[in-house]
């Protein structure tokens, strides 16, 4: 089922999302990948504020290729989410609402999703040219020195994603594997 949703999601939106739903997201998302997560984690351990208001935020695990002149962004597909598993539960407990990436998550992340009523979406890995078309604006807001790994504030319109882990903890990867495995 296709759902068109505005970010931040409401608690009703989140409750209505089920593993396997196809969604189109519109609003603000922040990019952060390995190096930015490490810095955010260090900032938190020093008692400092994060570069964005994490409550209700959506984080896209993505480091774009450089924009050609006159363009908003370069290629912009998801990176493997499991590398951020070490950092995600703490951010979810602070109010992080949506994560967008690709690939499996740990049990600790899944439990933190359920505990906080959050959601994990997958975008299509390796479709960075296509996904870049859904990004209307991009601005580096922190850690500029990290280059592609800097934190960017993106404005997206109808950004396509699929619910992989919903707020009840159902995991699409596990369910679909069972459906199509014929070994």
**Residues 44, 42, 80, 61, CA torsion sign:** positive
Query: DSSP strand E in the chain: where?
Result: 2-6, 22-31, 58-60, 98-101, 119-122, 135-142, 151-165
Q: Which of residues 82-141 bind another protein (CB under 8 A)?
A: 82, 102-104, 122, 124-130, 132-133
| Structure-token pair, residue 155 | 């404005």
User: How many residues line the site for another protein (CB under 8 A)?
Assistant: 46
| Structure-token pair, residue 122 | 């997958």
In the complex, the smallest distance separating the C-beta of residue 136 from another protein, rounded to whole angstroms, is 15
In the complex, the smallest distance separating the C-beta of residue 138 from another protein, rounded to whole angstroms, is 12
Q: Are strands 22-31 and 151-165 parallel, antiparallel or unpaired?
A: antiparallel
**Judged by CB under 8 A, does residue 179 bind another protein?**
yes
Single residue of 7, 39, 64, 138 touching another protein by CB under 8 A: 64
**Judged by CB under 8 A, does residue 181 bind another protein?**
yes
Cβ nearer to another protein, comparing 10 with 177: 177
Stretch that binds another protein, among 10-18, 42-50, 56-64, 106-114 (CB under 8 A): 56-64
**SS3 of 98, please?**
strand
DSSP code, position 78: -
Q: Which of residues 3-22 bind another protein (CB under 8 A)?
A: 20
| Residue 170 φ/ψ, nearest 5 degrees | -65, 140
Taking CA atoms, 133 is separated from 55, 73, 124, in Å, by 27, 9, 13
Cβ nearer to another protein, comparing 108 with 173: 173
Single residue of 148, 153, 155, 170 touching another protein by CB under 8 A: 148
Rounded distance between C-alpha atoms, residue 35 and residue 143, angstroms = 9
In the complex, the smallest distance separating the C-beta of residue 144 from another protein, rounded to whole angstroms, is 12
Q: Which of residues 32-51 bind another protein (CB under 8 A)?
A: 35
């Amino acid at each position: 089922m296709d759902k068109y949703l505005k970010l931040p999601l409401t608690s009703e939106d989140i409750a209505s999302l089920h593993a396997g739903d196809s969604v189109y997201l519109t609003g603000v998302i922040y990019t952060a990948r390995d190096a930015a997560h490490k810095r955010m984690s260090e900032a938190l351990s020093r008692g400092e504020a994060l570069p964005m208001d994490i409550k209700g935020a959506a984080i896209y695990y993505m480091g774009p290729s450089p924009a050609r002149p006159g363009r908003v962004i370069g290629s912009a597909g998801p990176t493997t989410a499991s590398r951020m598993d070490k950092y995600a539960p703490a951010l979810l407990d602070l109010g992080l609402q949506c994560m967008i990436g690709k690939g499996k998550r740990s049990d600790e992340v899944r439990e933190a999703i359920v505990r906080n009523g959050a959601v994990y979406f997958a975008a299509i890995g390796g479709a960075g040219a296509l996904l870049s078309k859904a990004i209307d604006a991009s601005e580096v807001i922190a850690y500029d020195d990290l280059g592609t790994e800097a934190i960017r504030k993106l404005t997206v319109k109808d950004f396509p994603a699929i619910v992989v882990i919903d707020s009840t903890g159902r995991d699409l990867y596990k369910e679909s594997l069972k459906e199509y495995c014929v070994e």
